[in-house]
Structure 1
Amino acid sequence: MRRALLLALAAALSPGAASAHLVGVEFGDFYAGALHVATGVAYGATLVALALMAGLQPRESGRWALVAAPPALLLGALAASFGVVGEAPALDPAVTATLALCGVLAALNARPGPWGVATFAGLVGLAMGAANGQAALGGGVDPILFSLGVTAAGSVAVILGVACARAAADRVPLLSMVWRVAGSWLAAAGAASLALTVAQAGGL
């Protein structure tokens, strides 16, 4: 049963052509960017993994995720939406790779320190921003507004996620172990999704 659930999550995280479709364009370009983040399973799982990893850190380290992620999201989204990174099919798998990495760090309760947390949060932001920003290419949306929407949605998710993970663990210390278990599941799902993506790319 647990293996079946893990495989189902891995399949849901695997990137596909549908991830490039824009939703919510009728509400405006800013909201199209925000909804593109909100409707991606891999994006949501990666933000959760980042929140768990940062929330398990000491406060002086964990807060650096809140500093590094938003500008990285904006930079990645702008670079991709203006075509700076070109057509890069590896961007969605890169998001899944950061999911696996953050999940591993959370599961191990690693202490990378302030600069380490900032680095990992920046990597998540760049990968996620770029993966989402590519949807603006040829989508008939304003790349700046779309990128701002991506940044806003991702930043709010990171801020709320880290705050909730930290506050919950402070109130109920046992939850720290729960977060670590959740991190291990996210890491396993991310790794399985990457393996599935590589197998599909290789025609296996």
Structure 2
Amino acid sequence: MKLKLTRALLGAAMPLAGVNAAEAHIVAARLGDFYAGAAHPLTDLQDIVLWIAIGVLAGTLGAAKGRWLIPVFPLGLLVGLPLGNVFGATSSQLADAGMMLAIGMLLAAAVQVPALLLCAIAFAVAVMRGAANGADLAPETDRLLFAAGLVCAGYAVITLTMALTAMFKRTSSDSATSWRSIAVRALGGWIAAIGLMMGSLALAS
């Protein structure tokens, strides 16, 4: 009796699985590789944390320094994309964790980073995350469209994060003890903690 019930359930599940696969194929074909490149980094914790962290850091330093990231960050993504097979998974995780720790500590300490150093940090983050996204490309993926989507996503996330951070910190008082500054520094502490945990997990694995 149980065997017949199992066969019946399997028989009913197979058409449903086929429908789901067909629907997924239709959605992928409809959206295309450009949208895959734009959406892919938004599904990865390392991308989300690092992109937001570098955008917040730039936003706290003001528009004069932050605007340099608008061309630098997308350029770094383009440079890193072909390097997807160069770095191993463990080394990539350690590099991401180290960057999270460094950026988080800079935010927590409210360090006034020079524009050149800010651009160097942003470019390094972009190259690393561009390589990580490139490592996940399938052979049939149109790399040009994927790269265009990835660059557009990087531009949008960095620009919006910088703008929102600058607006958040815009108060009548520039005191380092204002609650808005304290909130940004607390966020930096959380980013550093995430980087420390990710680094520990990468070393333990």
Q: TM-score range by the shorter chain?
A: 0.7 to 0.9
Aligned to 1:61, which of 41, 54, 65? 65
**Structure-to-structure mapping, 1:153-164, within 5 angstroms:** 153-164=153-164
In structure 2, the partner of 1:100 is 101
Q: Which has the larger radius of gyration?
A: 2
Q: Any gaps of 5 or more consecutive residues in structure 1? A: 1-23
Aligned to 1:35, which of 34, 39, 47? 39
Cα distance in 1 for partners of 2:94, 2:154 equals: 18
TM-score (norm: length of structure 2): 0.77
Contact 1:95-1:131 at 8 Å conserved across structures: no
Quote the sequence identity (%): 27
SS in 1 for 2:170: helix
The yes-or-no answer on 1:193 pairing with 2:198 is: yes
Report how many residues are paired.
Answer: 172
1:139 deviation in Å? 4.3
Contact 1:78-1:143 at 8 Å conserved across structures: no
Cα distance in 2 for partners of 1:25, 1:145 equals: 13
Contact 2:96-2:195 at 8 Å conserved across structures: no
Q: Which amino acid aligns with 1:72?
A: G
SS in 2 for 1:56: helix
Aligned to 1:179, which of 179, 184, 187? 184
Cα distance in 1 for partners of 2:48, 2:112 equals: 23
Cα distance in 2 for partners of 1:93, 1:116 equals: 21
**Structure-to-structure mapping, 1:80-159, within 5 angstroms:** 80=84, 85-86=85-86, 88-89=88-89, 90-136=91-137, 138-159=138-159
Contact 1:49-1:102 at 8 Å conserved across structures: yes
SS in 1 for 2:88: coil
In structure 2, the partner of 1:76 is 80
**1:65-117 CA distance string (max 9 Å, x none):** 2231111011111333xxxx435322244233222221111111112211011
Q: Which amino acid aligns with 1:162?
A: M
Q: Any gaps of 5 or more consecutive residues in structure 2? A: 1-26, 173-177
The yes-or-no answer on 1:167 pairing with 2:167 is: yes
Contact 2:49-2:191 at 8 Å conserved across structures: yes
Contact 1:78-1:144 at 8 Å conserved across structures: no
Q: Which amino acid aligns with 2:157?
A: A
SS in 2 for 1:61: helix
**1:169-192 CA distance string (max 9 Å, x none):** 114753122111101111111111
SS in 1 for 2:104: helix
RMSD: 1.9
TM-score (norm: length of structure 1): 0.77
The yes-or-no answer on 1:44 pairing with 2:48 is: yes
